[in-house]
Amino acid sequence: MKNSHLASLLLSVVFISKLASGQLLAAEEQKPESQKVATGGHAEKVRTLGIFLFPSFELLDAYGPLEMWGNLKGRVKVVTIAREKGPVTSSQGPKTIAEFGFKDCPPLDLILIPGGFGILNILNDSETLAWLRERSATAEITMSVCNGASLLAASGLLDDRPATTNKAFWSRATTPWPNVKWVKRARWVDDGNMVTSSGVSAGIDMTLHVIERLFGKQTAQDLANSTEYEWHREKSWDPYAELHGLHDSK
């Protein structure tokens, strides 16, 4: 009888233990991604991506990548930044609210610089260039779309590094910065902590590439599928370099 009672007690303990484990697992699965416990007992890191806005920025340069980043809720937090917080008018007219200015901008893991004709007005702005240098020094990856690369070049962040930009305005966007190793035929160029893309829609392909780097191929492909976007995976796919008569000397 004693042995039977002991066996029943042990079975009860095992059952309660399994039940508790199952309840804890279920509770864990219901948490936001940012609160889940990853392997090793550490909470998954939530990266903060800051997009820098300036008057006459190109809408798709900004919102194409943000469509992808913004769907990584619990993994990436997106914030908007300008020299001064408040509404910023795009090249196409609609305004976007900058949540932060340079002075109260939070720490950034990822930085995105869109392009647009407004870039030409800030290439010599010492405050903007200093802020970009300071923040890029501590960011995991700094990205640019279109002639946003010109701002990175003006700040000195692309000196002696490969980069690309919009092919329709190639000469204007590259000539002032001969120290950059400009790549004419490229949808995007990945140089570690600096990733630059060609014009406008190319920023979406670049973004999916960076997301693949950080979160894996399946996550990037799922985003492309859910947005019904035909992802150009090959970085050298660049019919627009050919269209505008650009050929790398090598």
As beta bridge partners, residue 244 has: none
The Cα–Cα gap between 62 and 58 comes to 7
Domain definitions of the chain by residue range: 2-30, 47-243
Q: What is the DSSP string of the chain?
A: -HHHHHHHHHHHHHHHHHHHHHHHHHHHHHS-GGGSBPTTS-BPP-EEEEEE--TTB-HHHHHHHHHHHTT-TTTEEEEEE-SSSEEEEBTTS-EEEESB-TTTPPP-SEEEE---GGGGGTTT-HHHHHHHHHHHHH-SEEEE-TTHHHHHHHTTTTTTSEE---STTHHHHHTT-TTSEE-SS-SEEEETTEEEE-STTHHHHHHHHHHHHHH-HHHHHHHHHHTT------TT--HHHHHTT-----
Whole-number percent of the chain with pLDDT over 70: 82
pTM score of the predicted model: 0.83
Average pLDDT estimate for 202-220: 97
Return the higher-pLDDT residue of 25 and 144.
Answer: 144
The Cα–Cα gap between 97 and 146 comes to 22
Identify which of 190, 204, 212, 215 has the alpha carbon closest to the alpha carbon of residue 73. 215
Active site positions, annotated: 146
Q: Are 206 and 197 in contact (CB under 8 A)?
A: yes
Q: Are strands 95-98 and 110-113 parallel, antiparallel or unpaired?
A: unpaired
- Cα separation of the two ends of the chain: 88
Q: What is the pLDDT of residues 64-79, one digit of tens each?
A: 999 999 999 999 999 9
Q: Does domain 47-243 have CATH number 3.40.50.880?
A: yes
Output the six-digit token pair for 222: 């799922």
Q: What is the pLDDT of residues 16-68, one digit of tens each?
A: 444 444 443 343 343 444 344 344 445 678 999 999 999 999 999 999 999 99
pLDDT band at 12 (very low <50, low <70, confident <90, very high): very low
What is the pLDDT, as a whole number, of residue 8? Answer: 53
Which segments of 74-190 does DSSP mark as H helices, in order? 126-138, 148-154, 170-174
Q: How many residues does the chain have?
A: 250
What is the pLDDT, as a whole number, of residue 4? Answer: 53
Whole-number percent of the chain with pLDDT over 90: 80
The Cα–Cα gap between 90 and 58 comes to 6
